[in-house]
Structure 1
Amino acid sequence: MALKTGDTVPKFTAKEASGAIFESDSVIGKKTVIIYFYPKDDTPQCTAQACGFRDNYAEFVDLGVEIIGVSSDDVNSHQEFIRKYNLPFLLLSDSDKALRKLFGVPSAFLGLLPGRVTYLLDKNGVIQMVFDSVLGMKHVKKMIEKLTE
């Protein structure tokens, strides 16, 4: 069952691009967090989305927001993606798709591609907004709109 607005995100662990283990309760429940699921490192829409979050990162930081990207790519792919585009936020590897399953992220394009869904969590770890669109930059714009309304 998919997580929705009003749900509290359960605790989870995943590998960071560095290879370190990320524990969700180190951030979630302590500050506002954007968790965005995307299909694949270094593809056109995913790169546009990541660079959109990067280009607006100072605004997110000023709003007290932590950004975390999640895809099924391995840590080596994430390291290269971060390096190539100078991404200042965490990318988590979900190679076993456990996080996608935990959040209930649907597949896109007749189940052929992993879905692109963004979650905005408040300081208590409660989902305030879920945004689902194949267009990566729309996610950045929607999050800024919601955070500044």
Structure 2
Amino acid sequence: MTASKTLNVGDKAPDFHLPDAEGRMISLSDYRGVPVVVYFYPKDDTPGCTAEACAFRDQYEDFKQVGAEVIGISSDAPDRHARFAGKHRLPFVLLSDQDGAVRKAYGVAATFGILPGRVTFVIDRDGVIGHIFSSQFRATRHVSEAIDVLGRLA
């Protein structure tokens, strides 16, 4: 992983290799040719993160209709992701960034210096960032922002 930097719209999204809830290694490059929404969130089973994940779940078909995939990333361990995804019937991939290297590569800063940031990146078919939305406290807004951008990119 590269050092932390500020990413901007038009930048190439850093590739990553992280375990999913079953321990399989997943890379951003596995999705080349498909728009991807990568959302970083603080922690499984917290109120804001659960609302955000369930909002992505509830509108998942809208993402599929435009050919996009959704990936959630937090520092939670794969087994915790498995419980969280099962409990809330999440149809998309959750990845475990336990050492924070991917969060750092994407420049996702902590809120108030302590709470892991909540930032969503819309990445186009070529791996280029098309939109960035950051809001710790408007968790469900990440979903509508991503859908709006994907609609314009389609």
TM-score range, shorter chain: over 0.9
State the alpha-carbon separation in 2 of the partners of residues 104 and 117 from structure 1: 9
- Structure 1 portions without partners, runs of 5+: none
TM-score by length of 1: 0.96
Partner of 2:108: 105
The structural deviation recorded for 1:83 is 0.3
**1:22 paired to 2:22:** no
Equivalences, count: 147
**1:60 paired to 2:63:** yes
Q: Could you report, residue by residue, the CA deviation over 1:25-77 in whole angstroms, capped at 9, with x for unpaired residues? A: 111x3210000000000101100000000000011000100000000000111
CA RMSD of aligned residues (A): 0.9
The structural deviation recorded for 1:4 is 1.5
Q: Which has the higher strand share?
A: 1
Partner of 2:82: 79
**1:44 paired to 2:47:** yes
Partner of 1:117: 119
State the alpha-carbon separation in 2 of the partners of residues 146 and 89 from structure 1: 19
Partner of 1:3: 7
Where in structure 1 do 4 or more consecutive aligned residues deviate above 3 Å? none
State the alpha-carbon separation in 2 of the partners of residues 122 and 148 from structure 1: 12
State the alpha-carbon separation in 2 of the partners of residues 21 and 62 from structure 1: 26
TM-score by length of 2: 0.93
SS at match of 1:131: strand
